[in-house]
Amino acid sequence: MTPHATNLGDSSASATRITPGNALRPEDIVEATRLGTVKPSEDVAEYALRLGDDALILAQRLGHWISRGPELEEDVALGNIALDQLGHARSFLSYAGAAWGKTEDDLAYFRREPEFRCAHLFEQPNGDFAVTIARAFIVANYQFLLYRELSKSTDSMLAAIAAKAVKEVDYHLDHSTQWVLRLAGGTDESRRRMVAGLNLMWPFVGELFQDDSLTARLGAAGVVPSSLKDEFDRSTGTVLAEADLDVSALHMSTGGGRAGRHSEHLGFVLAEMQVLAREFPGASW
Amino acid sequence: MAQNSEPNSSGASIKSVSSAASGKAVLDGLTPDPVQLAGQEHFDAVLAKDSRVEPKDWMPDAYRRSLVRQISQHAHSEIIGMQPEANWITRAPSLKRKSILMAKVQDEAGHGLYLYSAAETLGTTRDEMMDALVAGKARYSSIFNYPTVTWADMGAIGWMVDGAAICNQVPLCRASYGPYGRAMVRVCKEESFHQRQGFEILLELANGTAEQRAMAQDAVNRWYAPSLMMFGPPDDDSPNSKQSMAWNIKRFSNDELRSRFVGMLVEQVKVLGLTLPDDQVRFNEESKTWEHGPLDWDEFKEVLAGRGPCNAQRLERRRTAHEEGAWVREAAVAYHQKQQDKQKAAA
């Protein structure tokens, strides 16, 4: 089915509907899965959980920048990217939850740290603006390739979510690319900070492209992470070369996020994100 | 809409007025500047027609100064106003609420940008306005110096603070200064979304558990008086209002707008099933206005003077963001300059 073509649910009646037009919304996914027209397999749900957690934790990180950006334009830009990521997270989590009878909020607020499936890159603290840009640059390059391929998934819902997301990530890619060039080619200080940001973030690239038994089982429903690595190296390499930045000597960390082994940072992110929801379990907001 | 919505067309009209009015200047025997005299005449005519003054039009210095003050204060309020709500973005209790709150706070940054741009058309720069803000020399809406201590405050701010802002700002869509009025049209559309989301938060809480309901009532109690005071001092103690109304910037007095706002709250609070913390609210049949209990204007003045609960914290946060972002802004300028130099060298 094409979720775009359906007119499901009454969420359009909400006074605070925030997605204009007939774009795919998390509410549409909930409605489609409720009606039983789509239901993810266990493997697809596990996979959606990974992608949803990546986007959710990044949105949580970026949300902190709003009102703290170096320019008002960046408050708006980083806020927009955070919103896009949160939208993708809600879609992936809503879809994943359908396999287990859980809502997006059950998954976001009531899972424990080892149950999260995000990669370490997404958990990393914002640092200064250059650190945030270094992370954003890696994420945008990765997600752009990932979603572009996933939009061809044999799972129609994953394909639909990815098709919407890739258009938005295209802007994130442009935003982070422009800033990598500006910071690397701006002043001595900005260059020093951009190099430091890449030194901090680049080690987490490796985990994004690790295959495992789940991605092998998914076949054409998912995207084999390692299949994206060459193009990732080319697309980031072009920009880094223009910026005269070299990441070739940086080591790769081992990762473990997909199996629930996280960095030192995720616990703090979850503590803050989940505190209110857990104070009132079962409450509606 | 404004008749002179294009700066060029109104710029051209100054010339014609200028030549037509040049004889009058000599008659006065005071040899005033003929351009100024013609400009004043044109300005007065624009106000008389209830039309728009545009950036290239001549305008009295006091009008310009008053607008710069009002628009920049408004912009600062949007920017400082992001903080009390950004305080809850990372803790919003559902992903839908988080998404709406992020969008709302981001809108406020956008409002700040339109308003700084509108003020820039009057000859001041955003850097000057931002410097004045972080130096503590500029004012912003005093209500943002109160803390947001519970999630229900997101509801109360949306419903009451943004509701008061809408009452204030809808008439400003007709403000005589074109760029300000037009910025307000867009701002008001988004503010009405903000108010609805605030109301929806309170409605959900009011229909929730006993604790949620108490949280909602507590927030309404705390934000009620400060939101009424957002309209400014009573009319007999509002020095700038009269001139502002004569210039067609302000359309209704502080007390008129406040009364209208109280009437709106009275109806909507019934839908929420909550109460207003004011047992003196009543409709005066004679004056056809809503009346409310006394407000603590001493507190208002204290907060406005910088002695509210969060004044220092709000300014410090803005100053820190500004200072920590300096190297980024410098890098952007340096990069731009280098690119231009490269292009010149290549040409």
Each residue of A235-251: pLDDT tens digit? 999 999 999 999 988 88
Domain membership of residue A157 as a residue range:
21-279
In this predicted structure, what is the pLDDT of residue B29? 54
Taking CB atoms and an 8 Å cutoff, what residues of chain B touch A87?
99
In this predicted structure, what is the pLDDT of residue A35? 87
The helix/strand/coil state of A78 is helix
Q: How confident is the model at residue B2 (pLDDT cuts 50, 70, 90)?
A: very low
Judged by CB atoms closer than 8 Å, whether chains meet at A71 and B86 is answered as no
Q: For residue A15, what is the nearest residue in chain B, using CA coordinates?
A: B196
Is A16 part of any domain? no
Q: Report the residue from B102, B199, B328 with minimal CB separation from A82.
A: B102
Is A75 part of any domain? yes
Cα-trace Rg, chain B: 23
Average pLDDT over residues B276-281: 97
Residue B36 pLDDT greater than 90, yes or no: no
Q: For residue A72, what is the nearest residue in chain B, using CA coordinates?
A: B109
Is A12 part of any domain? no
Could you tell me where the beta strands, DSSP code E, fall in chain B? 282-284, 289-291
More confident residue, B38 or A118: A118
Is A4 part of any domain? no
CA distance A14 to chain B (A): 9
Nearest CA-CA partner of B159 in B201, B187, B127, B115: B201
In this predicted structure, what is the pLDDT of residue B16? 36
The helix/strand/coil state of A40 is coil
In this predicted structure, what is the pLDDT of residue B25? 39
CA distance A238 to B331: 21
Nearest CA-CA partner of A174 in A275, A80, A97: A80
Identify the residue whose tokens are 């200080």.
Answer: A189
In this predicted structure, what is the pLDDT of residue B10? 36
CA distance B62 to B46: 16
CA distance B287 to chain A (A): 34
Judged by CB atoms closer than 8 Å, whether chains meet at B102 and A87 is answered as no
Q: What is the pLDDT of residues A38-86, one digit of tens each?
A: 899 999 999 999 999 999 999 999 999 999 999 999 999 999 999 999 9
**Plot region of B180 (φ>0 → left; ψ -120 to 50 → alpha; else → beta):** alpha
Judged by CB atoms closer than 8 Å, whether chains meet at B327 and A189 is answered as yes
What is residue B28's DSSP assignment?
Answer: T
Is A285 part of any domain? no
Q: For residue B151, what is the nearest residue in chain A, using CA coordinates?
A: A276
Nearest CA-CA partner of A114 in A49, A67, A169, A165: A49
Q: Which residues touch B259 (CB under 8 Å, ≥6 apart)?
A: B289, B290, B291, B292
Residue A10 pLDDT greater than 70, yes or no: no
Judged by CB atoms closer than 8 Å, whether chains meet at A75 and B212 is answered as no
Q: How many CA atoms lie within 13 A of B294 on its CB side?
A: 4
User: Which ipTM did the prediction report?
Assistant: 0.92
Average pLDDT over residues B205-234: 97
Is A11 part of any domain? no
Arithmetic mean of pLDDT over chain A = 92
Residue B131 pLDDT greater than 50, yes or no: yes
- The CATH number of whichever domain residue A172 belongs to comes to 1.20.1260.10
Q: How confident is the model at residue A97 (pLDDT cuts 50, 70, 90)?
A: very high
CA dihedral angle for residue A126, residue A130, residue A134, residue A137, rounded to 10 degrees: 100
Is A194 part of any domain? yes
In this predicted structure, what is the pLDDT of residue B6? 34
Q: What is the pLDDT of residues A115-162, one digit of tens each?
A: 999 999 999 999 999 999 999 999 999 999 999 999 999 999 999 999
Provide φ and ψ at A74, rounded to 5°: -80, -30
Q: How confident is the model at residue B30 (pLDDT cuts 50, 70, 90)?
A: low
In this predicted structure, what is the pLDDT of residue A22? 56
Q: How confident is the model at residue B19 (pLDDT cuts 50, 70, 90)?
A: very low
A189 burial class (0-12, 13-18, 19+ CB within 10 angstroms)?
Answer: middle
CA distance B113 to B136: 20
CA distance B102 to A18: 11
Q: What is the pLDDT of residues A24-33, one digit of tens each?
A: 888 889 988 8
Judged by CB atoms closer than 8 Å, whether chains meet at B90 and A63 is answered as yes
Whether this prediction's pTM lies above 0.95 is answered by no
Give the number of domains in chain A: 1
In this predicted structure, what is the pLDDT of residue B5? 35
In this predicted structure, what is the pLDDT of residue A20? 47
